[in-house]
Copies of this chain bind each other. A is one copy, B any other.
């Protein structure tokens, strides 16, 4: 099934069930008002939502209305955990290669993850509000999962069973703040403003064969200012699958229902053509494009995003239909700036 959260002026919005084709929606009133409630009590509530979803898809839901992604908050407008991986090692390799440093051997066996802020997510069509263009505004197209409870010490296989929902994320990054921030040694903080998520979060059965043991074998399309810049395959090159990422989080603590785990920027290896490496699948964040330029030409030429720029992130199924709806945002200055 497909679930979304509609804006209603409250902090957590109103849970809606969305039809498979994203055409219609129905309030989940009478079952649950918030998505976190459903995650807290999944086994009891999700079958009831599934019934409503089946009725909606059959055109038999009584109070269905046209689904409008602009009315959506993030599926979880705020969450108790947002832990983001860097699971596509190719991305790390490019970043390191551009600055002539090696990828530590441990990075191929031990996932790189950071703990993100989760108190103020933004909706799929909300503006990305950033204090200044000078901060180096970048998008990051990612896959994210929402978990149930996963016990401390869970294996990657056990952790896979804890995945409840899949969605897309735009993990906005302020690139020019990163070097100084990481140099302090405690990880990202100001360099990671509010994250956006796709209009709907979907259960694994919606993904069919494309869900392959913790990896999503589909293409993430990133369109920047109307130009398609990324058609990256999210599947085979994901070095650590979601079960491994969740197990990493659960190594020394319990992971509780409603935790969101991100894949990090989807990234594909380059291919050799006429003695030169090219990246025909493009990029899922501008920083990676700039690394490619640095490797190819000695310096980056693509600038980061400006106020007014737009970014659209979407994944289509084998039938060409959008699975999660599109993240479709504009970059904006603060209202009082």
Q: Using a CB–CB distance below 8 Å, which chain A residues touch chain B?
A: 11, 40, 78-81, 83, 86, 104, 106-107, 110, 112-120, 129-131, 135, 152-153, 174, 177, 180, 182-194, 248-249, 251-259, 334
Contacts and interface: CB of A to CB of B under 8 A. Distances in A.
Given A80-B78, A120-B253, A152-B131, A114 B40 contact: no
Contacts of A255: 119-120
10 contacts: A79-B80, A80-B120, A83-B189, A104-B184, A118-B118, A119-B254, A119-B258, A131-B251, A190-B252, A194-B254
B81 A119 contact: yes
Copies of this protein in the complex: 2
A120 B248 contact: no
Contacts of A186: 86, 112-114, 182, 187-188
A130 B78 CA distance: 28
A334 B334 CA distance: 47
Given A81-B119, A152-B131, A153-B131, A174 B252 contact: yes
Given A184-B112, A186-B188, A189-B249, A83 B334 contact: no
Contacts of A257: 11
B119 A248 contact: no
Nearest to A110: B184
A87 to B, nearest CB: 13
Given A153-B131, A334-B152, A334-B153, A254 B120 contact: yes
Contacts of A78: 80, 256
A313 to B, nearest CB: 20
B115 A117 contact: yes
Contacts of A79: 80
Contacts of A180: 106
A202 B122 CA distance: 31
A107 B185 CA distance: 11
Centre residue among A81, A115, A255 by max chain B CB count within 10 A: A115
B190 A187 contact: no
A252 B119 contact: no
A329 to B, nearest CB: 15
A324 B190 CA distance: 31
Contacts of A86: 186
A182 B107 CA distance: 13
A102 to B, nearest CB: 13
